[in-house]
Chain A
């Protein structure tokens, strides 16, 4: 058993309101620089939707991640052979138009305009060429646009849904969507690290953060291809690739990463998980159906004396083991089995887990009611019946079984296509609600509550604990950050205030292109 510590994240999607505060917090700290304007280390996507970069999940286009061949795995679009052969021109490299051309507006024109008959306008200009452009894309161009033919219906996750299912999904009355915030997954089997010809990318042993050494990167740009989540970005100005650094300077100082700290919906949790690094290769090369289980099996119980002993032997600090015991992510992912990795089929073993959203699933359309128009209150403009958002089914799991949102879609995102896994998580989410409603409102029979909890595989105590960590958790409950041990300081930092807006972080060389 090769025990290592990994700082992992859980995103509770039911709580995400899609406000993009996380993206802005990240942008203001890290990517407000020339060459990095288009980079959103943290972005929020509307699902179903095509995302950023457009259709990033479609690996037939982008060739990211690992693929299984003859029992072992290799990188799909990069690697030792493909990477070096394509080094002069990488056929699988996305170009900036797959993201969007960064732009600003000529605001000064508004102020400096002479008196005219017409209002002055601020024209959009490209942040690359400085010339006026027509804006055609943005990082969240399809925000809230579920159901639209150009975006939602081109979502790669719809590939194995029948046309009828898709059609039903996008009917106006049934339409649902949710938000998917994404950052680098700080994978256990990172494709970007494996693809880097110059060896600039590495995983930090102490906390598992994946970083790109800016002094070793030579712009071979294979990591951009290899990362299936498209979370490694090429800085077109400095000629170096960049990615989310999980705000390691903040983590080392005991702060939560900026995206997590600023999260309005408090959807984010961060904590240490101990895992068995000896299983990485086997787990990543297993059959697609068992990838999620194999990954979850790698995560170790931090209370197990055997695990603790092995961890200490491996140099995991006591404080890190303690942090793993208090970790909210361990509880969500392992103890309660409520959080799943995003696109496990990419085989990178991502360590960012998502609690699938119950809300878009829950409301079912019980019957087609043609007299709905009459039921609208003419003054309050409010539908006074339940046809639109009906959660009053008699069946215990009716809202999940007759979900207005195909579970298959969510399974494609979070469970490598296994609907049962998603269903079990949704049942748990539902059981907690039923349990809490039984306590606070009291209109649910105790037997029904008991059945719900039993079928979801939990007891009342667990349900209360889930409820507390979901709804009432304070800052220190959501972010359990292991002390960084400055006495063993991992990255020695210089004061970088004087290069703010220039290179980002870590050292003071100016961001000139070339010499």
Chain B
């Protein structure tokens, strides 16, 4: 039995993350280069606008905060620990994160409810949409559970999970500390890997193409087939680059 759990731990905490990362990277590149026409956030606001507000907005704002929170603990664990060294700051951080997680939960519940009850939205919902919603729902519920029952997560994430994640990254996986964590924490970790794994196959791809370059591009875009200034020059070769509009 012990062997079985060891094997399971190794599979879920070592094999799965590598699998997930590989599938995510290769899948995303394939998805971006080969299925561009299907690469979309698949907004359904056009079919139903008002209910979406109470789902999409709290979900996105909350998930963005949580995503960057987890990322910060991964990148600068010492900074997080230093911040948490004062109890008041620790509580502020934990409570804030908890509130954002509640926002995610509310948003997700609203989104699921909308998908299940609105006839027009049901039509444009795929099985993968349900899978993603369920997965994220489990993630946020388990995350809230962990945050409430095993305090203070931001600190022990930085000291236990960050070394583990870095060991994965350094190709020298060390699961000795993580294996001892409660099963619900492991559940949350595995859920995260599954989410990463499913990104290329779901509407989650839209987060890979967040249009931040919009901020510094000029408003108007004109695309020319050839460089028009050089078109009439006899030395203009026919090997000019084609524009990226096709």
Contacts and interface: CB of A to CB of B under 8 A. Distances in A.
Our verdict on whether A and B bind, yes or no, reads: yes
B47 A96 contact: yes
Interface in A214-253: 214-221, 224, 234, 236-240
B39 A315 contact: no
B209 A218 contact: yes
Interface in B95-142: 119-120, 122-124, 126, 128-129
Interface residues of B, number: 58
The winner among B37, B57, B60, B246 for most chain A CB atoms within 10 A is B37
B37 A215 contact: yes
A154 interface: no
Contact of B37 (A128, A130, A507): A507
Given A202-B245, A315-B229, A240 B220 contact: no
A216 B232 CA distance: 31
A371 interface: no
A333 to B, nearest CB: 22
Given A197-B214, A491-B246, A515-B128, A238 B221 contact: no
A422 to B, nearest CB: 30
Contacts of B87: none
Interface stretch (B9-17, B148-156, B200-208): B200-208
Interface stretch (B48-56, B68-76, B180-188): B48-56
Q: Determine the main DSSP class of A at the interface with B.
A: loop
Contacts of A129: 119-120, 122-123
Interface in B28-64: 31, 35-49, 52-53, 56-57, 59-61
B214 A198 contact: yes
Contacts of A312: 232
B36 A216 contact: yes
Given A80-B214, A203-B221, A236-B46, A89 B52 contact: yes
B223 A205 contact: yes
A490 B37 contact: no
B225 interface: yes
Contacts of B122: 129
A239 B40 CA distance: 6
Given A95-B47, A213-B245, A315-B229, A128 B38 contact: no
A220 B46 CA distance: 11
- Chain A interface residue count: which class? 35 or more
Given A80-B215, A218-B39, A514-B202, A128 B123 contact: yes
Interface string A482-509: 0000001111100000000001001101
A513 interface: yes
B225 A206 contact: yes
B86 interface: no
A239 B43 contact: yes
Contacts of B225: 204-206, 488-490
Contact of B213 (A199, A205, A224, A238): A199
B177 to A, nearest CB: 37
A194 B56 contact: no
Contacts of A304: none
Contact of B217 (A199, A217, A507, A514): A199
B219 interface: yes
A198 B45 CA distance: 18
Contacts, number: 171
A84 B223 contact: no
B128 A203 contact: no
A476 to B, nearest CB: 26
A224 B219 CA distance: 16
A287 B179 CA distance: 70
A302 interface: no
B35 A488 contact: no
A206 B222 CA distance: 9
A437 B56 CA distance: 65
A489 B238 CA distance: 13
Contacts of A202: 221-223, 245
A221 B46 contact: yes
B220 A315 contact: no
B219 A194 contact: yes
Contact of B126 (A87, A219, A492, A513): A513
A131 interface: yes
A491 B57 CA distance: 39
A83 B225 CA distance: 29
A73 B85 CA distance: 50
Contacts of A83: 214
A106 B36 CA distance: 35
B159 to A, nearest CB: 34
Contact of B40 (A238, A491, A492): A238
A513 B36 CA distance: 12
A83 to B, nearest CB: 7
A313 to B, nearest CB: 8
Nearest to A95: B49
A240 B40 contact: yes
A236 B44 CA distance: 7
A488 B124 contact: no
Nearest to B34: A509
Contacts of A96: 46-47, 120
A194 B35 CA distance: 25
A219 B42 contact: yes
Contacts of A211: 245
B4 interface: no
A88 interface: yes
B101 to A, nearest CB: 17
Given A89-B57, A205-B225, A515 B40 contact: no
A221 B245 contact: no
Given A128-B123, A314-B228, A491-B246, 20 more contacts: A84-B215, A88-B60, A89-B56, A93-B45, A94-B46, A131-B119, A202-B245, A204-B225, A206-B224, A213-B246, A219-B206, A221-B46, A239-B41, A316-B228, A489-B225, A490-B225, A492-B246, A509-B37, A514-B126, A514-B128
29 contacts: A80-B215, A90-B45, A94-B46, A95-B45, A129-B120, A131-B119, A189-B220, A198-B209, A202-B221, A204-B223, A205-B228, A216-B36, A218-B211, A219-B43, A220-B43, A234-B46, A236-B44, A236-B47, A236-B124, A238-B38, A240-B40, A280-B220, A312-B232, A315-B231, A316-B228, A503-B37, A507-B37, A509-B35, A513-B42
Interface of A: 80, 83-84, 87-91, 93-96, 128-131, 189-190, 193-194, 196-199, 201-206, 211, 213-221, 224, 234, 236-240, 280, 312-316, 488-492, 503, 506-507, 509, 511-515
Interface of B: 31, 35-49, 52-53, 56-57, 59-61, 119-120, 122-124, 126, 128-129, 201-203, 206, 209, 211-215, 217, 219-232, 245-246
Instruction: List the 9 shortest-distance A-B pairs measured between CB atoms, nearest first.
Output: A315-B228, A197-B211, A215-B36, A194-B219, A205-B224, A239-B40, A315-B231, A239-B42, A509-B37
